[in-house]
Amino acid sequence: MMRNSSLLDEAYELCEEGKYTLALEYYDLVLFKDPKNITALINKGVTLQTLEKHSKAIKCYDEALKVEPNNIDALVNKGAALHTLGKFHDAIDCYDKALKIQPKYAMAIAYKGLSLGEIGLLKDAIKCFNAALKIDKKFDLALNNKTIALELLKNNTKIKPKFIKKG
């Protein structure tokens, strides 16, 4: 039988080839032998997200967080899955936990900005995008979404005409 590292490498290669279902079987083999294997739990979660099975992915991240409560990758990926499911406040909680562990993690800051934008907190979202860009000036996700948020903010603050009631 292959060792866990070989199985993990093979699963990674399968994902690279787009063979996600087969990769999940490899991750399951690793987890059968070692249920607390952080790499397998997180990579299985990422693979499930790729297959748009976000709730199952969250369960993988939760299992990883039981083993390592401060695992940044598990927290950020869980946040991304929650965001996709429209659970923006829960996603923000995950990003905040990640940022307590690693305050200058540009991806967590930018992802938090995305969730803040979704709940209408555009100014806070822009602050997040700016903070992410201070860390990584070429971070496309932050740059592109900052532009969108600024445009939305500009459109939302235009003076709306008031209707005069006749009569």
pLDDT at residue number 129? 93
Q: Which residue is associated with the tokens 């939305």? A: 152
pLDDT at residue number 158? 53
State residue 114 phi and psi, 5-degree precision: -60, -45
Ramachandran bin of 87, using left for φ above 0, alpha for ψ from -120 to 50, beta for the remaining angles = beta
Contact 56, 46 (CB under 8 A): no
pLDDT at residue number 1? 43
Q: What is the mean pLDDT of each run of 10 residues along the chain (167 residues)?
A: 76 93 95 95 96 97 97 97 96 97 96 94 94 92 88 70 51
Contact 107, 137 (CB under 8 A): no
DSSP 38: H
pLDDT at residue number 167? 46
